[in-house]
Structure 1
Amino acid sequence: MKFLRTVFILSSITFMGCCTSDKVEPLKAGTYSGVFNVKYGSESYSGKTSLTFENARFSSTSGQNRFPAGGSGVYTISNDKIVFTDQNFWTADFDWGLILSGTYTYSFDGKRLTLKKQGESSSYEYVLEKVSGD
């Protein structure tokens, strides 16, 4: 009987642990404006950008000197991840991590949207505020 009680308690703790998660507010269609930041080791660069979401499509503006490069295409969301699939052709003379493409971790509180992606020796971050849309 003691064994069954121990199994029940451990199962309950495991079940509760796997079911708790940080809830991310659903991303809303519209336009978001703000800053893009990239770090290469100890060097940092930033630029102004805007990002529009509509009907599972996205469009991002480019900044000065491609910080960021921009991008447009389709996106999907799963939990706290957004996968951007850029549908443009690009030259090979810059860091393609500056293109809004690939998997980003995101947080959204209904107004502020933050996107983050870690590269091998770089990190990319968008810090945006909702300016129009639903």
Structure 2
Amino acid sequence: MKKTGIIFLCIATSLLSCSKDMFRDPAAIMLSDGTYVGTFQRQTLASSLPSAVSLTLSNGNWTGNASMERYPALCSGTYSIGNNQVQFEDTCTWSANFDWTLILDGTYEITQYDDTVVLTRQQGNSTVDIYKLKKQ
């Protein structure tokens, strides 16, 4: 076998032995199926209180609960992950008597600090929604 053939064989063997996670989006690894608990807070120019939240992710579907009514507004829906972002789609029916920007729906940036996954979404110039979650 020629020298280049041996090198090719070594490279191919190395690639085939790698974990499939090596080829996945890092955000998908940070936010995998499971139950996450933590807090939600809408940061504005005026201070706001955090709310305890729980999110369960399973095969592209999510369900959630919050300790404060409609802060944030969590129910259920679908999600997809890519490019360090998670796209939530809420599939519930809501009444019109609250701020619908509090519904978990739309695109959030994903970052990780130690064992905490942080989801953030800008809401206008001076408002940011922040979920700080730990996998159970």
TM-score (norm 2): 0.72
The corresponding residue for 1:106 is: 110
CA contact (8 A) 1:71 1:101 kept: no
CA contact (8 A) 2:27 2:82 kept: no
SS in 2 for 1:44: coil
**Equivalence map 1:36-115=2 (5 Å):** 36-108=40-112, 111-115=115-119
- Kindly state the Cα deviation for residue 65 of structure 1 after the two structures are TM-superposed: 3.4
Q: State the one-letter code of the partner of 2:135.
A: K
- Kindly state the Cα deviation for residue 38 of structure 1 after the two structures are TM-superposed: 0.6
Q: Select which of 108, 111, 130 maps to 1:125.
A: 130
For residues 26-48 of structure 1, the C-alpha deviation after alignment (integer angstroms, 9 at most, x for no partner) is: 12210000110012332313200
Greater fraction of residues in strand: 1
SS in 2 for 1:97: helix
Structure 1 stretches of 5 or more lacking a match? 1-22
**Matched length:** 109
The structure 1 segments of at least 4 consecutive aligned residues displaced by more than 6 Å after TM superposition are none
Work out the percentage of aligned pairs sharing the same amino acid.
Answer: 35
SS in 2 for 1:65: coil
Structure 2 stretches of 5 or more lacking a match? 1-25
CA distance in 2, matches of 1:25, 1:71: 22
CA contact (8 A) 2:27 2:85 kept: no
- Kindly state the Cα deviation for residue 108 of structure 1 after the two structures are TM-superposed: 3.5
CA distance in 2, matches of 1:110, 1:56: 24
CA contact (8 A) 2:27 2:81 kept: no
Root-mean-square deviation (CA), in Å?
1.9
CA distance in 1, matches of 2:51, 2:69: 9
